[in-house]
Amino acid sequence: MSEDGRKSESEWREILSADEYRVLREKGTERAFTGAYWDEKRAGTYLCRGCGTPLFGADTKYDSGCGWPSFWAPREGASIEEERDLSHGMVRTEVLCGTCGGHLGHVFPDGPRPTGVRYCINSLSLRLDPEEP
């Protein structure tokens, strides 16, 4: 891994599954209601699957009905970047891991209080580190 936390594309291909690579590195999207975490209820921290950076807490996860894990805010101090996304004939805001540059999903202005935003994130971009009961 380079000093800034990023890997070469060949290194990514070695550590990610084909589906994880398609989402994290090629900005793909998993089908709604198919990911491992869309209906996950356990407490814990959601990490970037690519680099392990803590991104979202389960305490900000909610059921938005969209079929992907949804959060009303990232963890405090989380390394998250946002970029304008004009793909597929839409104008959206893409969410990226600030550490490794992996595509996470998109953020929309239709979430619950207190933030009013919905971070709609691919399960394939995440790994849950569950809290012990």
Q: What is the pLDDT of residues 79-92, one digit of tens each?
A: 999 999 888 888 88
Give residue-wise pLDDT tens across range 20-52. 999 999 999 999 999 999 999 999 999 999 999
Give residue-wise pLDDT tens across range 1-20. 344 567 998 999 999 999 99
- Token pair 């999207």 is at which residue? 29
Within-domain flag for 1: no
Q: Coil, strand, or helix at residue 9?
A: helix
Residue 5 is predicted with a pLDDT of 60
Residue 133 is predicted with a pLDDT of 67
Task: Report the distance separating Cα 3 and Cα 130, nearest Å.
Answer: 28
Within-domain flag for 2: no
Tokens of 80: 């998250």
Total count of domains within the chain = 1
Residues in the chain, total: 133
Within-domain flag for 19: yes
As annotated, the active-site residues are 120
What CATH number is associated with residue 42?
A: 2.170.150.20
Full-model pTM: 0.91
Q: Are 40 and 71 in contact (CB under 8 A)?
A: no
Residue 32 is part of which domain span? 9-130
Q: At 27, which helix (H) or strand (E)? A: none
